[in-house]
Amino acid sequence: MTSKIAILPGDGIGPEIIDEAVKVLNCLQANHGLDIEMESAHIGGAAYDESGSPLPQATLDLCKASNAILLGAVGGPQYESLERDLRPEKGLLGLRSELELFSNLRPAILYPQLANASSLKPEIVSGLDIMIVRELTGGIYFGQPRGIRSLEGGEREGYNTLVYAEHEIERIARSAFDVAMKRDKKVCSVDKANVLEVSELWREVMIRVSKDYPEVELSHMYVDNASMQLVKWPKQFDVMVTKNMFGDILSDTAAMLTGSIGMLPSASLDQNGKGMYEPIHGSAPDIAGTNTANPLATILSVAMMLRYSLNESVIADLIEQAVSDVLDQGIRTQDIADGGAYVSTREMGDAVVKALQK
């Protein structure tokens, strides 16, 4: 069956990097039998410029009708003075909540060819391949009540609520175990069960769900230890699953282990495996329009899309192998060139397509 893919280039370098990802998809259609149709729409600042809304109804309708969404990036300095509801980021957040994308997959992969880009010793990080599964639509960022209130005597206090219902924990657990089944079958659940009741319940539900995945090895780690272990011995991890706020922090630490923001893809999935795929970096206004952005994070987002939403693991492997081949050939964009020679955004996309055609 033909899969429909919504293509949302967005702002800044978004259109440039998305062009290269589309090139890769066209090649897979022509040479590897990938059965897809693509349709583009505006989001973020580009959508605001066109229609006055960062998430127009037509874009939302297209995304709802698609099997997967590929997004470039949103945002830019020209939109920063807009009122909050009209800012580009609102388009992205709106899409995540409208589509109930509760499971955020953030891989931290360091290709051995780029091991020197990390601030950690190459032997600690070379070949690193961790997947952080972060709960994205619940927890303390959304819990009620929240606010700032005045106390007797006039002092104010701020308060937020960390709350997870069992069904929210269960669905993120299943998401993590499903991901682990496609990888090395190890899940480390990160919590703070020694202090927080919500973590006690989290741990209990993780253990219960793990019974449905007898092949997957489940372990538990307190979040403070997890942050230490990530920089001490990151290769011990396969899949890490955690709450919204812990995941927010740990996934940025893990991303920085690799030292190359232009290389990291991400996915946000709903209950049925439909997902939005995007590089972890932003719209990089400082280099937009210069044909120097690294398109590999977006191309690797395509690989994630094929693996997690379209069930095309074999073709996903081909993309990842093509990226590795290109790095083997010494082809680099400016951000990963370590001061050496580099190619343009378009030349990097062409190199991946050429490697795929071999």
Q: Which residues bind ligand NAD (CB under 6 A)?
A: 13, 73-76, 89, 92, 261-262, 278, 281-287, 293-294, 297, 335
The kind and range of the H/E element at 205 are: helix 197-210
The question of whether 252 is a catalytic residue gets the answer yes
The question of whether 159 is a catalytic residue gets the answer no
**Terminal alpha carbon distance of the chain:** 26
The residue from 35, 61, 212, 224 that is catalytic is: 224
The kind and range of the H/E element at 22 are: helix 14-32
Tokens of residue 9, six digits: 């280039």
Q: How far is the CB of 113 from ligand NAD (least distance, A)?
A: 17
Under 8 Å between Cβ of 44 and 88: yes
The residue from 212, 252, 317, 328 that is catalytic is: 252
Residue 134, phi then psi, degrees to nearest 5: -110, 130
The residue from 192, 213, 243, 270 that is catalytic is: 192
Q: How far is the CB of 68 from ligand NAD (least distance, A)?
A: 16
The question of whether 191 is a catalytic residue gets the answer no
Q: How far is the CB of 148 from ligand NAD (least distance, A)?
A: 25
The question of whether 270 is a catalytic residue gets the answer no
Under 8 Å between Cβ of 121 and 264: no
Q: Which is nearer to ligand NAD, 226 or 263 (CB)?
A: 263
Under 8 Å between Cβ of 336 and 117: yes
Q: Which is nearer to ligand NAD, 137 or 189 (CB)?
A: 137
- 132 beta partners: 106, 240
Q: Please give the Cα distance from 179 to 189 (Å, whole number).
A: 13
In one letter, which amino acid is 46?
A
Q: How far is the CB of 79 from ligand NAD (least distance, A)?
A: 7
Q: Which is nearer to ligand NAD, 215 or 286 (CB)?
A: 286
Q: Which is nearer to ligand NAD, 217 or 347 (CB)?
A: 347
The residue from 191, 238, 248, 335 that is catalytic is: 248
The question of whether 224 is a catalytic residue gets the answer yes
The residue from 19, 141, 178, 354 that is catalytic is: 141
Q: Which is nearer to ligand NAD, 248 or 278 (CB)?
A: 278
Q: Please give the Cα distance from 35 to 33 (Å, whole number).
A: 6
Between β-strands 156-159 and 147-150, what pairing exists: parallel, antiparallel or unpaired? antiparallel
Q: How far is the CB of 314 from ligand NAD (least distance, A)?
A: 27
Q: How far is the CB of 335 from ligand NAD (least distance, A)?
A: 4
Q: Which is nearer to ligand NAD, 282 or 349 (CB)?
A: 282
Exposure class string for 238-277: b at 16+ Cβ within 10 A, else e? bbbbbbbbbbbebbeebbbbbbbbbbbbbbbbbeebbbbb
Q: Which residues are catalytic?
A: 141, 192, 224, 248, 252
